Amino acid sequence: MTRTLNNCPAPAKLNLFLHVTGRRPDGYHLLQTVFQLVDLSDLLHFEVRQDGLIRRSTDIAGVPEESDLIVRAARLLQSAIQTKDKISAIPPGANISIEKKLPMGGGLGGGSSDAATTLMALNHLWQGSLTREELMALGLQLGADVPFFLFGRNAFAEGIGESLQKLDTPALWFVIIQPAVAIPTEIIFSSSELTRDTKPVKMTHFSIASNKLFGKNDLEPVAAMQFPEVANAIKWLSNYGDARMTGSGACVFCGFLQEDQADKVLKLVPSHWKAWKAKAMQKHPLAGLLDR
C-alpha cells in the first residue's frame, strides 16, 4: 500500500517586531525578532514513491520545480538519511502537491514554511528518524526562517534567525493585508537606507498584554519608501490599531483581542487589496511528528 500524508499545513508567520542589530562579515544581517505562528496556511500532500524520485505535481507560477524549496528540502533530506544510516541506496522518493495560499514576496514565510513541512512530513513517511535539531540544521541550509518552523512554536529569535527561545504569545486575532506587490527580500536588505544598529533587547523586554506591539520593524521604512502600496496599507490599517509590516514585506498586519473586532475591520478592507483573518497559534500543527 502506498504511504501518504495529506493536508499537511505549512502555516504563515508574522514578525511581531524585527530589529536589525548588525551585520556579519559574510553579509548576513544580525536580527532580533519574535516569530508568531498563525493559522493561515498552505496545504501540502505527500505520496511515497519507491524509485527515489522527487516530483512536484503542482505548477507554481514563477517557481521552476528544480529551484522550489519543497523539492530542494526533500532531496536534502534524502541525502541526510543516506549519510546518517550509512546506506548506498537512495531513500524512497515522493510525489508532492501543494495548495498554495500564502503569497510569495509577502513576508509571511511561505516558502520556508513549505520547506519545513516537507522535512517534517517526509522524515515521518520515510522513517528517517532525524531529530528536530538535525532537521533544523538541514533547514538552515535552505533559508534562515526554516529552522523556526521546525522549532515548532512561537519564538524569540536572534542571530540570523536561527537562535531560538520558546515564547508564549497572547491569543490575538490578526487582519493581514497583502498589497498588490511582491518584495524580494534582497532588495530591502541591500538598501543603503536600511539602519543596522538598533540596540539589542532581551526577551524579557518583550511583552504584549494587549494589541499594542513592542519595538518596530526596521525593514518597514525601506519597504514603504520603495513600494508606496505598502505605505498605503500601513496607513489604512493604522486607523484600527497598531499596524505593522511583517518580515521584509509586503504584507502588513494588525492584532485584535477579539475575533469580532478583526471581522469588522476585515469587511472594511478596500477591494483592491487581498486580506485575511488569522488566529494566533502557539504550536506548529505538525509539531507532534517531532515531539516523540
The reply to whether 145 belongs to the active site is yes
Catalytic, 13? Answer: yes
Print the SS3 string covering the chain: CCCEEEEEEEEEEEEEEEEEEEECCCCCEEEEEEEEEEEEEEEEEEEEECCCCEEECCCCCCCCHHHCHHHHHHHHHHHHHHHHHCCCCCCCEEEEEEECCCCCCCCCCHHHHHHHHHHHHHHHHCCCCCCHHHHHHHHHHHCCCHHHHHHCECEEEECCCCEEEECCCCCCEEEEEECCCCCCHHHHHCCCCCCCCCCCCCHHHCCCCCCCCCCCECCHHHHHHHCHHHHHHHHHHCCCCCCEECCCCCCEEEEECCHHHHHHHHHHCCCCCEEEEEEEECECCCCHHHHC
Query: Closest Cα partner for 220 from 115, 123, 107, 128?
Result: 107
13, 42, 68, 114: the active-site residue = 13
Residue 139 near residue 105, CB atoms below 8 Å? no
C-alpha cell at 112: 520556508
Q: Which of 114, 145, 218, 277 is catalytic?
A: 145
**Vertex 167, ends 163 and 169: CA angle to 5°?**
135
Q: What cell does 75 get? A: 532531496
Residues annotated as catalytic are 13, 145
